[in-house]
């Protein structure tokens, strides 16, 4: 596998994390650099670790993992998207400062798992292709981190202008990403 292919794979794997990071940025009334970096780190680390797991599991378990991973991704993203919509619709308008971004590590972990399950299969490909694992997962992690951080900033830019509508849109986007992953996993699209 050459460098160009690895970069394309890395960007492709990072797209779901980027989209979810945009949604996280939507919920920031004020830009929270620390929260953005931590969010991007979660996505970058999980995207880098999942191929390692796939690499060592090998093709022996590929069919088992791929048979249910789309359901797990859909469930997690639909739950978190629904939670975002619920919170936006039931936010107390009398709160002077509006809702502040809360760094929820449990939620970030669920989002990171949901968006990185497909990287497990990439690890299996890496094993079959005898790809340099350390370099590959580092590239995936760094690119995912950078795109996720960018996503947080983009989301914040729109979220600070449109507040509740942006958070509702973010929840809908998460649900749609989960639905897309489910339909792809079922072979419908």
Q: Which domain does 51 fall in, by range? A: 29-185
Query: Would you say 151 and 19 are in contact if contact means Cβ atoms under 8 Å apart?
Result: yes
Q: Is 61 part of a structural domain of the chain?
A: yes
Structure tokens at 125: 């490909």
Count how many Cα atoms sit within 13 Å of the Cα of residue 52 in the half-sphere of its side chain: 12
Residue 144: the pLDDT is 96
Place of tokens 């942006």: 166
Residue 140: the pLDDT is 96
The candidate with the shortest Cα–Cα distance to 141, out of 23, 26, 6, is: 6
Q: Is 93 part of a structural domain of the chain?
A: yes
Q: Is 11 part of a structural domain of the chain?
A: no
Q: Is 17 part of a structural domain of the chain?
A: no
Place of tokens 């590590």: 105
Structure tokens at 16: 């779901």
C-alpha of 17 from chain center: 3
Residue 160: the pLDDT is 64
Q: Is 16 part of a structural domain of the chain?
A: no
Q: Is 138 part of a structural domain of the chain?
A: yes
pLDDT tens per residue across all 189 residues of the chain: 688 888 988 888 888 889 889 888 887 778 788 989 999 999 999 999 999 998 888 656 666 666 777 787 788 778 877 877 887 788 655 444 444 556 788 989 998 998 888 788 788 778 777 789 999 999 999 999 999 999 999 988 877 666 677 678 777 877 887 788 789 888 898
User: The whole model's pTM is what?
Assistant: 0.73
The number of domains in the chain is 1
Query: Would you say 47 and 116 are in contact if contact means Cβ atoms under 8 Å apart?
Result: yes
Q: Is 9 part of a structural domain of the chain?
A: no
Residue 96: the pLDDT is 43
Spatial separation of the C-alpha atoms in residues 118 and 2, rounded to whole Å: 20
Structure tokens at 114: 């949901």
Structure tokens at 8: 């394309």
Q: What is the CA radius of gyration of the chain?
A: 17
Spatial separation of the C-alpha atoms in residues 152 and 135, rounded to whole Å: 26
C-alpha of 139 from chain center: 16
Q: Is 21 part of a structural domain of the chain?
A: no
């Amino acid at each position: 596998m050459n460098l160009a292919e690895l970069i394309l794979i890395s960007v492709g794997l990072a797209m779901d994390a980027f989209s979810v990071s945009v949604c996280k940025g939507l919920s920031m009334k004020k830009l929270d650099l620390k929260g953005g970096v931590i969010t991007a780190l979660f996505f970058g680390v999980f995207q880098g670790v999942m191929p390692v797991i796939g690499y060592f599991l090998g093709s022996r378990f590929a069919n088992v993992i791929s048979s249910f991973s789309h359901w797990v991704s859909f469930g997690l993203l639909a739950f978190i998207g629904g939670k975002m919509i619920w919170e936006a619709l039931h936010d107390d308008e009398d709160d002077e400062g509006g809702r502040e971004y809360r760094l929820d590590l449990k939620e970030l972990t669920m989002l990171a798992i949901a968006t990185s399950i497909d990287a497990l299969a990439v690890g299996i490909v890496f094993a079959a292709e005898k790809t340099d694992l350390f370099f590959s997962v580092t590239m995936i992690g760094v690119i995912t981190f950078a795109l996720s951080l960018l996503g947080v900033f983009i989301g914040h830019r729109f979220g600070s202008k449109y507040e509740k509508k942006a958070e509702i849109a973010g929840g809908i986007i998460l649900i749609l990403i989960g639905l897309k992953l489910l339909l792809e996993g079922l072979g419908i699209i």
